[in-house]
Amino acid sequence: MPYFFGCSYLDLIGYVLLFPIAGSVINGLLGKKLSKPVVGIIGCTAIGLAFILSFFVFIDLLHLAPEHRVFEKDYFTWIGSGSFESIAGLQVDPLSVVMIMMVSGVGFIIHVYSVGYMQDDDGFYRYFTYLNLFTFSMLLLVLANNFLLMFIGWEGVGLCSYLLIGYWFEKKSASSAGMKAFIVNRVGDFGFILGIMLIFVTFNTIDFTEVFQAAPEHLQMGGFVVTMITLLLFVGAIGKSAQIPLYTWLPDAMEGPTPVSALIHAATMVTAGVYMVVRCNVLYTLAPFSLTVVAVIGGVTALFAATIGLAQNDIKRVLAYSTVSQIGFMFLACGVGAYIAGIFHLVTHSFFKALLFLGAGSVIHGLGGEQDMRKMGGLKKYMPTTYKTFLIGTLAIAGIPPFAGFFSKDEVLLEAFTKGSLLIWGLGAFAALLTAFYMFRLLFMTFCGKSNMSKHAEAHVHESPMIILIPLLVLAFLSIGGGFIGFPTASAINSFLAPVIGGGHHGTVDGGSLHHVSAGMMFSMMGISTGIAIAGIFIAYLMYIKNPDLPAKIAKKFKLIYTIVYNKYYVDEIYDATIVNPTVKTSFILWRIVDVRIIDGFVNAIARIVELKGEVLKLFQTGYVRNYALSILLGGVIIIVCSLILL
Amino acid sequence: MIPLTWYLILSGILFSIGAVGVLIRRNAIVIFMCIELMLNAVNLAFITFSRQLNSMDGQIFVFFIMTVAAAEAAVGLAIIIAIYRNKATVNVDDINLMKW
């Protein structure tokens, strides 16, 4: 085992958190006085160091025997109250190591990209402060060894998401989008915290290891308590990971800067829900009903969001709906018990979706802020490198071998077929077809065909600088090679993550690996999913390259369906009508009547009564001493008379 | 011998004159004199009872009252002079800072 000043890298796990928070504090306090390059270097170095250390931790963990690959480090007792004790501690196991490498690695690339992308922005230091703080929170979320600390990270990423969506807060739509994200997430977090409380009430501890060890003995399979716990936790995951019915905040979150969309709203934060479900796989395995709910919500979301993506024209919004859809795939995998496939897809998705977002950012940058795909087209010759990397990302998400998305998506579908039902598989497969279609629609509309740019944009369009292109190239490389960590299926990532599934040595549950699937089955499934992807691409080719008038014709023919899809099924409008507006109206009534009239009225009434009493009593205060003397005399006389009569 | 009642009635009359004077007069000096009158009415009652009961207690009280009255006269007159210097009047109706 490699040692570092006498202790193993595992002992240094706290520094993975320390670097980003230090970067955030330095930039936050001093950033205003520092020059932009210095701020950028501090921000990137903090995350870069965290990544290097994460990598060494990973190497250290590999040196341990698979069944011993759990390392916990307790730092201090955070809350001690009666029988309740919460220790601030970190846990390193294969799952959290995969997550911290992904978060800090992709995070580092996006930090570097941001230096180029945000160059002209006045709030440069503020941006990096938030971004570092986000990375810290996300790392805390995945490293925590108990539910409460995880919840702190969970809230922290939510806060940073809010701050970064509303980064351009002078813009009304951006600040409203930030608030929307925060409030919708709050709904999910409410379920999450109830779930944590229920865990504490049931197990009298919130430590991961203790809970997962006690769970199989404490809880009966499919019992009410475990079902409630898992469903409540899943409500949190629905909010954070933008699944039906709480997905509406994610498309609006695209108001933030594009690198933020890449980091927070595609690669890392939104996958926190998937991580949490996988972390709690012991509990979920005990609750078959919850698993069905997870699978169905995941599958339905995957399909639903994909259909919305078909008709959107904003390049970032298409990617946002595709993110919602891809996370649906991950939940679908978790729901059928294929946790490792879910994490595998999470990792590859973070590569290619970050690539796609950054590519879109490069396009937006080159066009001076234009996001509408109808005003793009033909960019291939102006931005060749962006085009090539974007093409790789698109092939990866569509699921064309040998790109990363193929392996993970294929595995998800295979697991859905073997462990789930034909219906679940059908949902996933159809969503995959749509994914290939709308992603290539995006690619064709943006980079191919003839130019629809305005004169002004056409004069200025340019390829982005190297600091933007290099991150794209790195991510493109990862999108090509990233899939091979999971090839063939019973391989590196499976065996590495297997101890995490089923509570380590309690492992009575099948670890989600695919020993039982025959090679023939595997390859035919691969063939089918490749076929699906190619079909999607072919349809997109027919509609947007070969016959550019076709989409308009189809839209005309199925006007009703097109309008509904184009308007995102009116879900936002329905929420506005059923939830938002009634809440606003009720609040208005509460303000105008309950607060102003009743509560304020009550307080004012008391003051008024006191005042009136004063008006009466002040008549006795004449200010003439003789009047007081008279009352003293009268009082004396009355007392004497009374005592004479009584005695 | 003059009966006890007569002394007490005289004392009562003097006290009443003093009290009414305090209440109805406007001149601060007169009010002040009326207060002295009330004190002396009380003194008379004390002396009467002292004599009747053959006890010196009452007379001791009277000495105390006279001493206090002397001190009070000094302070009171000083206050009245100070007010006069400030307001050029000793009419208590004009001295009305306590009125709202």
> Which of A625, A628, A632, A633 to mutate: most B Cβ within 10 Å?
A625
Q: Please judge whether A624 and B99 are an interchain contact, meaning their C-beta atoms are less than 8 angstroms apart.
A: yes
Global pTM reads 0.79
Residue B22 Cα, gap to closest chain A Cα (Å): 7
Residues in contact with A560: Cβ distance below 8 Å, sequence separation at least 6, in sequence order: none
Q: What are the angstrom distances between the C-alpha of A335 and each of A90, A412, A640?
A: 27, 10, 95
Per-residue model confidence as pLDDT tens digits over A170-190: 999 999 999 999 999 999 999
User: Is pLDDT at B1 greater than 80 in this prediction?
Assistant: no
Q: What are the angstrom distances between the C-alpha of A213 and each of A149, A283, A508?
A: 19, 10, 12
Percent of chain A with pLDDT over 70: 96
What integer best gives the mean pLDDT of chain A?
87
Write down the pLDDT at residue A507.
Answer: 37
User: Is pLDDT at A16 greater than 80 in this prediction?
Assistant: yes
Residue pair A340/A412 in contact by the 8 Å Cβ criterion: no
Cβ-based contacts of B91 with chain A (< 8 Å): none
**SS3 of residue A91 by DSSP:** strand
The residue of chain B with its CA nearest to that of A628 is B23
If residue A90 lies in a helix (H) or strand (E), which one and from where to where? strand A84-92
**SS3 of residue A85 by DSSP:** strand
Nearest to A382 by CA among A365, A398, A397, A394: A365
Residue spans of alpha helices (H) in A241-312: 249-252, 258-262, 272-279, 281-285, 288-309
Nearest to A522 by CA among A341, A391, A365: A341
Write down the pLDDT at residue B42.
Answer: 95
Q: What are the angstrom distances between the C-alpha of A529 and each of A278, A353, A409, A519?
A: 25, 19, 8, 15
Residue A618 Cα, gap to closest chain B Cα (Å): 9
Write down the pLDDT at residue A513.
Answer: 47
The residue of chain B with its CA nearest to that of A629 is B23
DSSP B88: S
Write down the pLDDT at residue A517.
Answer: 64
Mean pLDDT of A196-208: 90
Q: Give the ipTM.
A: 0.81
Q: Higher-confidence residue: A5 or B33?
A: B33
Q: What are the angstrom distances between the C-alpha of A588 and each of A130, A177, A591?
A: 34, 22, 5
Cβ-based contacts of B96 with chain A (< 8 Å): 623-624
Write down the pLDDT at residue A505.
Answer: 38
Q: Please judge whether A629 and B99 are an interchain contact, meaning their C-beta atoms are less than 8 angstroms apart.
A: no
> Which of B26, B35, B80, B99 to mutate: most A Cβ within 10 Å?
B99
Cβ-based contacts of B99 with chain A (< 8 Å): 622-624
Residue A606 Cα, gap to closest chain B Cα (Å): 24
User: Is pLDDT at A375 greater than 80 in this prediction?
Assistant: yes
Residue pair A331/A272 in contact by the 8 Å Cβ criterion: no
The phi and psi torsions of A278 (rounded to 5 degrees) equal -65, -40
Q: Which residue in the set A618, A626, A633 is minimally distant from B100, CB to CB? A: A618
**Structure token digits, residue A5:** 């000043």
Mean pLDDT of A393-411: 87
Q: Please judge whether B23 and A633 are an interchain contact, meaning their C-beta atoms are less than 8 angstroms apart.
A: yes
Rounded to the nearest 5 degrees, what angle is found at the Cα of A155, between the Cα atoms of A151 and A159?
Answer: 170
**Residue A81's beta-bridge partner residues?**
A84
Q: Higher-confidence residue: A395 or A506?
A: A395
Q: Higher-confidence residue: A402 or A597?
A: A597
Cβ-based contacts of B93 with chain A (< 8 Å): 624
Q: Higher-confidence residue: A359 or A82?
A: A359
Interface of A with B (CB under 8 A): 618, 621-626, 629-630, 633
Write down the pLDDT at residue A5.
Answer: 57
The residue of chain B with its CA nearest to that of A618 is B100
Write down the pLDDT at residue A504.
Answer: 42
Q: How many pairs of residues across A and B have Cβ atoms under 8 Å apart? A: 24
Write down the pLDDT at residue A4.
Answer: 54
- Of A57-66, A328-337, A456-465, A498-507, which range is least confident? A498-507
Cβ-based contacts of A626 with chain B (< 8 Å): 22-24, 92
User: Is pLDDT at A568 greater than 50 in this prediction?
Assistant: yes
CA distance A325 to A312: 14
Cβ-based contacts of A617 with chain B (< 8 Å): none
CA distance A178 to A183: 9
User: Is pLDDT at A394 greater than 50 in this prediction?
Assistant: yes
Residue B99 Cα, gap to closest chain A Cα (Å): 4
Cβ-based contacts of B30 with chain A (< 8 Å): none
Residues in contact with A213: Cβ distance below 8 Å, sequence separation at least 6, in sequence order: A503, A506
Q: Which residue in the set A621, A626, A630 is minimally distant from B100, CB to CB? A: A621
CA distance A573 to A278: 34
Interface of B with A (CB under 8 A): 19, 22-24, 92-93, 96-100
CA distance A404 to A331: 18
> Which of A618, A624, A632, A644 to mutate: most B Cβ within 10 Å?
A624
Q: Please judge whether A623 and B19 are an interchain contact, meaning their C-beta atoms are less than 8 angstroms apart.
A: no
User: Is pLDDT at A452 greater than 50 in this prediction?
Assistant: yes
Cβ-based contacts of A618 with chain B (< 8 Å): 100
Most confident stretch, A4-8, A91-95, A643-647, B41-45: B41-45
**Residue A90's beta-bridge partner residues?**
A73, A144
Per-residue model confidence as pLDDT tens digits over B18-43: 999 998 998 999 999 999 999 999 99
The phi and psi torsions of A489 (rounded to 5 degrees) equal -55, -45
The residue of chain A with its CA nearest to that of B25 is A626
Q: Which residue in the set A621, A622, A625 is minimally distant from B92, CB to CB? A: A625
Q: Please judge whether A626 and B92 are an interchain contact, meaning their C-beta atoms are less than 8 angstroms apart.
A: yes
Residue B1 Cα, gap to closest chain A Cα (Å): 28
Q: Please judge whether A624 and B22 are an interchain contact, meaning their C-beta atoms are less than 8 angstroms apart.
A: no
The residue of chain B with its CA nearest to that of A631 is B23
Q: Which residue in the set B23, B93, B96 is minimally distant from A629, CB to CB? A: B23
The residue of chain A with its CA nearest to that of B23 is A626
Q: Which residue in the set A621, A622, A629 is minimally distant from B22, CB to CB? A: A629
DSSP A464: P
Residue B100 Cα, gap to closest chain A Cα (Å): 7
CA distance A375 to A461: 12
First to last CA, chain A: 106
Write down the pLDDT at residue A509.
Answer: 40
Q: Which residue in the set A623, A626, A630 is minimally distant from B100, CB to CB? A: A623
What angle do helix axes A339-366 and A384-398 make, rounded to 10 degrees?
160
Most confident stretch, A329-333, A400-404, A559-563: A329-333
One-letter amino acid at A362 equals S
| CA-atom Rg of chain A in angstroms | 30
Residue A602 Cα, gap to closest chain B Cα (Å): 29
Cis preceding-peptide flag for A488 (omega within 30 of 0) = yes
Write down the pLDDT at residue A491.
Answer: 63
Q: Please judge whether B99 and A623 are an interchain contact, meaning their C-beta atoms are less than 8 angstroms apart.
A: yes
CA distance A320 to A304: 13
Question: What region does A64 belong to: left with phi over 0, alpha with psi -120 to 50, or beta?
Answer: beta
If one counts every other C-beta atom within 10 angstroms of the C-beta of residue A263, the result is 32
Q: Which residue in the set A623, A629, A630 is minimally distant from B98, CB to CB? A: A623
Mean pLDDT of A49-58: 92
One-letter amino acid at A105 equals G
Residue pair A509/A340 in contact by the 8 Å Cβ criterion: no
Residues in chain B: 100
Cβ-based contacts of A624 with chain B (< 8 Å): 92-93, 96, 98-99
Q: Which residue has the tokens 């951006």?
A: A174
Q: Please judge whether A626 and B23 are an interchain contact, meaning their C-beta atoms are less than 8 angstroms apart.
A: yes
Cβ-based contacts of B98 with chain A (< 8 Å): 623-625
If one counts every other C-beta atom within 10 angstroms of the C-beta of residue B85, the result is 8
Cβ-based contacts of B97 with chain A (< 8 Å): 623
Write down the pLDDT at residue A508.
Answer: 37
Q: What are the angstrom distances between the C-alpha of A551 and each of A143, A185, A306, A374?
A: 47, 36, 17, 12
Per-residue model confidence as pLDDT tens digits over A105-120: 999 999 999 998 888 8
Residue pair A516/A414 in contact by the 8 Å Cβ criterion: no
The residue of chain A with its CA nearest to that of B91 is A624
